[in-house]
Amino acid sequence: MIVAMGRSSEAAALLREVVAQVAGGGLTPEDAVRRVGPEDIASLLHASIIDEADGADESELTRGLGASPGAAVGRVYLTSEALLDAVDRGEQAILVRLETSPDDVPGMSVAEGILTARGGLVSHAALVARGWGVPCVVGADEIRILDGCFSVGEVVVDEGDTIAIDGSSGSVTLGSARISKPEVSSELWHLLGWADDVAAGHLAVRANADTAEDARAAREVGAVGIGLCRTEHMFLAPDRLPIIRAMILAETEEEEIEALDRLAAVQRLDFVGILEAMDGLPVTVRLLDPPLHEFLPDVEGLVVADARGELDEEGHRLLEAARHWAEANPMIGTRGVRLAHVRPNLYRIQARALFEAVVDRRAAGGDPQVEVMIPLTVSGPEVAQARIWVEEAAAEVGLGEDPVVGTMIETPRAALVAGGLAAHADFFSIGSNDLTQLTFGFSRDDVAGRFLSDYVGTGLLEHDPFDRLDDAAVGELIDLAVERGRAVVPGLKVGVCGEHAGDPVSIRRLLASGVDYLSCSPARLPVARLAAARAVLGV
């Protein structure tokens, strides 16, 4: 694959021209916002493959979904352990997996790029990679993972071989390649400042950020708060997984609370860092959302290890727990607020850790602005009960005021009964990824590699609904959620924290729905800021 440098160079020249014309009085800031498109600045923000180096195979090996923008070149490694060893030797490495899990996080954190055979734009690999700004390609379903290598058709790529991936286009190329450098200039920040002025009072742009580092990076690129802090991502570090697994394996309530208290202690420190980075700006913290099996080893791997006689006592307990928490459809199973009703100490202790962090920051002279978000509610009583847990935690730590508690709108039912939810909520956050999945009946991690591209190519669908918001059905459900929620609570604040919050076309539709803010990954913030302003201007 050969990608010319022309796009980024032309975009840089356009930026210089419009900024100079505004300075000279020939254009207004609004004119500048109209003239520069989101695709122009996107080409400036991320590395891309510009051509292959000498001796490289010029043919594309395979193609998947571009899940996290940027390009990377490195040696292939098929396990996190092997990749960590390679990085210790000073190698640039790309992690190639069937799909990633929490056990892969140590390797993912130091990889140049990530490539998976399975998964969609909101798979584990995609979400983690976007949060960290690591180039990632997912859903490359032609890849077959073998022992010490992977294959695509008749081509075999051994561990240690070099590949290049493009997280924007989804291209995977065998051999080395030259990478273009991002061209971020002062003109870009001038333009985005004008865009913020245009969008002010109409559509704010926050970030999805799960760590203090993410929060600082988001603030540096103009986020006006955090719209989604996913507390589960705080449990993925190597020193955290054993603690949450101890909670899962607990056989008594006392053992469960002991493990949760250990989690709360480290999570409080995480919250302090995030609140310090976002001091004075709103931070929306979502309590635990995924099902518990996502924190456990894969059942099949444990079964194989058991057959080989490789499991110790803890391994057997993990196998029993993995079997217990396994579900046929975990995305619509025991997760979110449903899990909290099974394990009610979970949300109480998470909320306590958050409010202790608020108290700590206030004692240090900070101005923490916290909003607590309850995921996956489908009825007013669910929200009301979760709110009680959060309020009890606030009172326990002496917060001094009623906490701000809201909920996500992620299912068609939640959108339809939004009035009943709003009666117990201070804000809504539209989870457009899950709402799309449940409206279409599509598994977002499965359909991309099976039939979705064919559907779009043959006209059965106009576009990928996980990439661009579906106007006809999902858009109407968002309209209803906003309308019915505000009919009960006038002025109810509504945000959107799905992937659509970073897509320019979707942003125009979301503005029409009346939402107050968008929340996207830090890497997509500049594009979202410009797109929000252009939507306000009707471009």
Neighbours of 500 (CB within 10 A): 28
Q: With beta carbons less than 8 A apart as the criterion, state whether 8 and 183 touch.
A: yes
Which residues does residue 369 pair with via DSSP β-bridges, in sequence order?
Answer: 282
Please give the DSSP secondary-structure letter assigned to residue 154. Answer: T
Residue burial 412-434, b: 16+ Cβ < 10 Å; e: rest: bebbebbbbbbebbbbbbbbbbb
Query: In whole angstroms, what is the distance from residue 232 CA to residue 211 CA?
Result: 11
How far from 128 is each of 104, 122, 138, 166, 521, CA to CA, in Å? 11, 9, 12, 17, 10
Q: DSSP for 205-238? A: EEEE--SHHHHHHHHHTT--SEEEEEGGGGG-ST
How far from 171 is each of 95, 98, 163, CA to CA, in Å? 15, 17, 10
Enumerate the active-site residues: 124, 497
Q: How far is CA 363 from the centre of its chain?
A: 31
Amino acid at 213: E
Tokens at residue 300, please? 């099949």
Q: DSSP for 10-68? A: HHHHHHHHHHHHHHTTSS-HHHHHHHS-HHHHHHHHS--EEEPPTT---SEEEE-EEEE
Provide the Cα torsion 157, 160, 165, 167; round to 10°: 120
Tokens at residue 337, please? 């607020």
Tokens at residue 221, please? 């690129």
296's CB contacts (< 8 A; 6+ apart) are 245, 248, 318, 321, 322, 325
For residue 23, give the nearest of 190, 200, 184, 199 by alpha carbon. 190
How far from 396 is each of 247, 265, 357, 376, CA to CA, in Å? 22, 16, 13, 25
Please give the DSSP secondary-structure letter assigned to residue 141. Answer: T
How far from 525 is each of 43, 281, 394, 521, 528, CA to CA, in Å? 14, 16, 32, 7, 5
Q: With beta carbons less than 8 A apart as the criterion, state whether 431 and 497 touch.
A: yes
SS3 content of the chain, % helix, strand, coil (to 5): 50, 15, 35
